[in-house]
Structure 1
Amino acid sequence: AELASQQYYIDYGSEILLERLLSLIPSYIPDREITASRSVEKWAHFIMAAHKKSIYTQKRFDPQKVKEEVVDFARHKWPLLFSRFYEAFKFSVYFVDEQEQVLLELSFPEITAVSRKLQGQSFTLATIKGDEYTFTSNNAEDIRDLVVTFLEGLRKRSKFVVALQDNPNPTGEESTFLSFRKGDLILLDQETGEQVLNSGWAHGVNERTNQKGDFPADCVYVLPTMTRPQQDIVVRRKTYLKRLSLIFREYKNVITGHFHRVMVTKNRGKDKLWSCTREPLKQPLLKKVVSHEELAQDACILPIMKYMGDYPSKRTRSVNELTDQIFEGALKAEPLKDEIYCQIIKQLTDNHVNEEKGWELLWLCTGLFPPSNVLLPHIQRFLQSKKHHPLSGDCMQRVHKALRNGSRKYPPHLVEVEAIQHKTTQIFHKVYFPDDTDEAFEVESSTKAKDFCQNISTRLLLKSPEGFSLFVKISDKVISVPEGDFFFDFVRHLTDWIKKSRPAKDGIVPSLTYQVFFMKKLWTNTVPGKDSFADSIFHYYQELPKYLRGYHKCSREEVFQLAALIYRVKFEDDKSHFPTIPKMLRELVPQDLIRQMSPDDWKRSVVAYFNKQAGKSREEAKLMFLKVIYKWPTFGSAFFEVKQTTEPNYPEILLIAINKHGVSLIDPKSKDILTTHPFTKISNWSSGNTYFHITIGNLVRGSKLLCETSLGYKMDDLLTSYISQMLTTMNKHRSGRGHSK
């Protein structure tokens, strides 16, 4: 009632009229709150009572101030309404589940670090409890940046700091220096966190002793909060600081003692431990792995020897079975990465029989992940000492690329393993285009989808790769490759997923072939004539099938004109195919319009329009075609036929178009656009094998559209991509305005 009263005051002022209020209540009060026991009339009584005793009506507040109070109240009462939602795959916990229930809430003072893998799609939140929550999301960088922005902004405005150490300055009765112990909470007097972060000294009150004084800024941590932190957070922060100092001490010891068991010194000559062996190791090489029982069990000792032929293998294996066993564990546990490097180098050292197999493994390893900073110089020295080997230089380059691009998520793809086994370090991949052409492109272990798209765009002389994407066609699915994914990781993950959903028959795992397509995905800035190569190779051939399926609403005149242009693209000025026009109508006219005229009438109309376009080339005809459909609101759409079960005013079978304008709902018979939901109004969406759900509006007064479809994964991906692009553009504009100031 209080909120409704405030809304009325903002709209109409302090004087309240019962008749007007009764008509407004359905838009002020959520439907679920209007019941038989709480009728519209009762709500009117509650609202008028709240209005009468409110301070803003008595003191005639400025409506803007009341708006601010409403927002401030809502911000604390319903924080989810002020949230950005991201889809993430659970490694530790979900923060919000599909029913929008909050399962975990972290206040900013509880967060000690936000990190992400270099160029990766995962981010980690560390808390003062010592917990770490790692999520994988296509928006990982976006989420991390958002959290960091809040943390930095709060720290700049904060008046609360916590001591990182005991104050090193001696304090006497006359001293102006503040005395404190590690973990003490200090309230800043004059300064804010921004001054503390940017200056050498600060002044504040030690909450424990109630003393005032000056203190060095580098002895405190500025808490990211505008309000006094809860006592348990201060206590946990103190515990965290103790634990942190222990970790630093332990890490220092690890660095000094890391290699004393395994590294070769000049005085000792070649230690047997660093030479290949035919006997399996009884324990891992590195101390940090030995001391971790679970990791020690996963340290791949036998598979490396079996791959190299240094240990007998009794059965025939698939090409990448052993490489999977070797690298899978290391890709999940960071300490095992160095262990694998050390075991491979050990096994190829002084191995006169199977050294080449060891180089194959090292080549694969350097393409998957880099060694740690501690091990890196030793790997570099090893490779420099083996300059004579043809793979040495390539391995060095691959290490540098892995350092720059980050670690892969999956073991080597079959294509990578087969390539190195056939003594080739160059892998070429065929890519198909919408105009039925294809070209081969080199793909490296470190190639990400974004790099791949850039390479294709450059080769095809496109003006920009913006809006284009790689698609992998496998089995009965065509799936877009996220631009931040390593190409081989994505294909590997996809084939593994399909194999799991198709169990082996008679013990034989089905072999899955796939094709890679390069197509326009996001049409936000697509204008016919802006990029002639993109129009000719992509835009025309991607829009044509959608037009012929009858998804667009168009006039008969436009259909005649477009049919003549399609004919010209096929045959240019050749009129010898005119007699066959009645037989090729499905290639010229939208399928739902063919029966509206006789074949001969269609032929006469198409020929008449063809003659009007005399002298136009094939490329000019493509551009003219695109310019006609560019005028339609459905240009550049991806169309999905779905069965909807929530909106009685709409047909049961709907055509959903996703394009630069948002999500449009179309009557499949009349082709009328029933409504268009812009991306800014879409708050949530989800998909599964048989459904696609979308929430329009906010969580309080929003509506859901539930659809049955087998293409939910495509709709989900496309919507995610368009909204991500929109947010990126908005952020660029904001930062641009910030710099211009």
Structure 2
Amino acid sequence: MGDHPSKRNREGNELTDHIFEAPLQHDILRDETYCQLIKQLTGNRNRLSTERGWELIWLATGSFAPSTNLLKEVMLFLRSHSKHSKIAADCVNRLQKTLRNGPRKYPPHQVEVEAVQRNKTQIFHKAYFPDDSSEAFEVESSTRAKDFCQNIADRLKLKSAEGFSLFVKIADKVISVPEGDFFFDFVRHLTDWIKKARPSRDGVTPQFSYLVFFMKKLWTNTVPGKDRNADIIFHYHQELPKLLRGYHKCSTEEAVQLAALIYRVKFGDDSSNLHNISRMLKELVPADLIRKLDPDEWRQAISTSFSRDSGKSPDDAKIGFLKIIYNWRTFGSAFFEVKQTTEQNFPETLLIAINKQGVNLIHPETKEILISYPFTKISNWSSGNTYFHMTIGNLVRGSKLLCETSLGYKMDDLLTSYISLMLTTMNKNRTMRRQ
């Protein structure tokens, strides 16, 4: 609060960490923290000290509540100041939300600390979407990932938030936020983890900025045309790169149809760029199929297909694109290129597709599905910085698959999420049958 000035400057949330880490770990210190803050604010005539004290109370009320023995006194103190102080009134609301939602696991994030220091008790956070658009949403200390997802779904008029997830991109990793986690807790945990993994140089701790993405993660109940906004903003833009990388088994005829629809999404009904198709094949045709026809043949076939759909809007073209891919077993898959040494009958380099059917091993050249492991057959899995390991069937007699990959953490998370959803659905169905 500045009553005893420090001999050195402390940056970021160093001071707030020092204050809040202990009470978050030990319940008994929470009352002590509130008592000390209230004591230092009572009769305090130093304006700067008082302002900083209220900033700390604001952070405290969003982190943990006092015990039931002290709650009444804390509320009386906050309400006695709320008529004349906007921050005190906000502290009352924050404390009520903390009582409902439970305490945080980590001290306030730097974003929260900087917000209250700038006298801003509303924090707006930008979320990015696959169609390259973005919007800002209010995020509170008590906001869990599930709440954030629902707010986005409501704003974008999606029919459901089911299957969608927040993803945080920090350094070279993109990590899904568990729906039950407090948003700022997860980001704080992730930032601390990255900092520990990348130690400071010359005594300077590296600062890591992060971006928040909102995307479809689990494609269990995704049917093109069922949720138009989801198709237009998310499904099309998430599926397009997978097609162009050549991950799906796609015939030349389907590739022509899809290319004409991709062209229509880009240019609408404007046919003036059709003569340039041979130069933009990488943006229209799967990478593994480009050499199947010469550029002029592609141009002629795609132009003919485009003219058949005259008058179709770009948004309708997106849905038409999805309806073709929906018929493939690999629709809605997350693809991973890995190396494996455990299955002698399969190529060393494999394409793994994780989708609602399970884990599918795909030949990297023919795109044939070599084998599919349904989630019910997978008994164990683990991952590290360089590997992903999975056991199929009995832990003792079952087969094992060991993959060399830097994306093991993503495969692990996706498998965990699909199996968790499967078990939740099974339990719901059992309950409904009993009723």
The TM-score normalised by the length of structure 1 is 0.58
1:153-192 equivalent positions in 2, closer than 5 A: none
Structure 1 residue 321 and structure 2 residue 17: aligned?
no
Asked if the contact 1:370–1:399 (Cα under 8 Å) also holds between the matched residues in 2, the reply is yes
Asked if the contact 1:643–1:708 (Cα under 8 Å) also holds between the matched residues in 2, the reply is yes
* Letter in structure 2 aligned against 1:706: L
1:130-279 equivalent positions in 2, closer than 5 A: none
SS of 1:469 mapped into structure 2: strand
Partner of 1:669: 365
- 1:147-181 Cα deviation digits (max 9, x unpaired): xxxxxxxxxxxxxxxxxxxxxxxxxxxxxxxxxxx
Partner of 1:632: 328
**Structure 2 unmatched ranges of 5 or more:** none
Partner of 1:154: none
SS of 2:68 mapped into structure 1: coil
* Letter in structure 1 aligned against 2:64: F
Aligned counterpart for 1:408 among listed residues 94, 99, 104: 104
Structure 1 residue 594, shift from structure 2 partner: 1.1
Partner of 2:281: 585
**Identical columns (%):** 70
Asked if the contact 1:694–1:704 (Cα under 8 Å) also holds between the matched residues in 2, the reply is yes
Partner of 1:352: 45
Structure 1 residue 470 and structure 2 residue 159: aligned?
no
- 1:260-297 Cα deviation digits (max 9, x unpaired): xxxxxxxxxxxxxxxxxxxxxxxxxxxxxxxxxxxxxx
Asked if the contact 1:567–1:588 (Cα under 8 Å) also holds between the matched residues in 2, the reply is yes
Structure 1 residue 516 and structure 2 residue 209: aligned?
no
Structure 1 residue 701, shift from structure 2 partner: 2.4
Structure 1 residue 362 and structure 2 residue 66: aligned?
no
Tell me the distance in 2 between the aligned counterparts of 1:698 and 1:348. 63
Structure 1 residue 506, shift from structure 2 partner: 1.4
SS of 2:361 mapped into structure 1: strand
Structure 1 residue 528 and structure 2 residue 250: aligned?
no
Tell me the distance in 1 between the aligned counterparts of 2:34 and 2:388. 45
* Letter in structure 2 aligned against 1:321: E
1:264-663 equivalent positions in 2, closer than 5 A: 308-353=1-46, 354-387=49-82, 388-663=84-359
1:60-139 equivalent positions in 2, closer than 5 A: none
Q: Which aligned runs of 4 or more in structure 1 are off by greater than 6 angstroms? A: none
Asked if the contact 2:343–2:401 (Cα under 8 Å) also holds between the matched residues in 1, the reply is yes
* Letter in structure 2 aligned against 1:467: G
* Letter in structure 1 aligned against 2:59: L
- 1:217-241 Cα deviation digits (max 9, x unpaired): xxxxxxxxxxxxxxxxxxxxxxxxx
Tell me the distance in 2 between the aligned counterparts of 1:363 and 1:645. 55
SS of 1:570 mapped into structure 2: helix
**Structure 1 unmatched ranges of 5 or more:** 1-307
Measured on the aligned residues, the alpha-carbon RMSD in Å equals: 0.8
Structure scoring higher RCO (CA < 8 A, sep ≥ 6) equals 2
Tell me the distance in 1 between the aligned counterparts of 2:44 and 2:281. 69
Tell me the distance in 2 between the aligned counterparts of 1:426 and 1:473. 23
Asked if the contact 1:469–1:483 (Cα under 8 Å) also holds between the matched residues in 2, the reply is yes
SS of 1:375 mapped into structure 2: helix
SS of 2:69 mapped into structure 1: coil
* Letter in structure 1 aligned against 2:24: L
Asked if the contact 1:349–1:355 (Cα under 8 Å) also holds between the matched residues in 2, the reply is no
Tell me the distance in 1 between the aligned counterparts of 2:70 and 2:163. 40
- 1:403-461 Cα deviation digits (max 9, x unpaired): 11111111111110000000010000011000000000000000000000000000000
Tell me the distance in 1 between the aligned counterparts of 2:79 and 2:309. 67
SS of 1:665 mapped into structure 2: strand
Asked if the contact 1:432–1:438 (Cα under 8 Å) also holds between the matched residues in 2, the reply is yes
Asked if the contact 2:252–2:289 (Cα under 8 Å) also holds between the matched residues in 1, the reply is no
Which deviates more from structure 2 when the two are superposed, residues 388-397 or residues 569-578? 388-397
1:48-67 equivalent positions in 2, closer than 5 A: none
The TM-score normalised by the length of structure 2 is 0.98
Asked if the contact 1:553–1:672 (Cα under 8 Å) also holds between the matched residues in 2, the reply is yes
* Letter in structure 2 aligned against 1:697: G
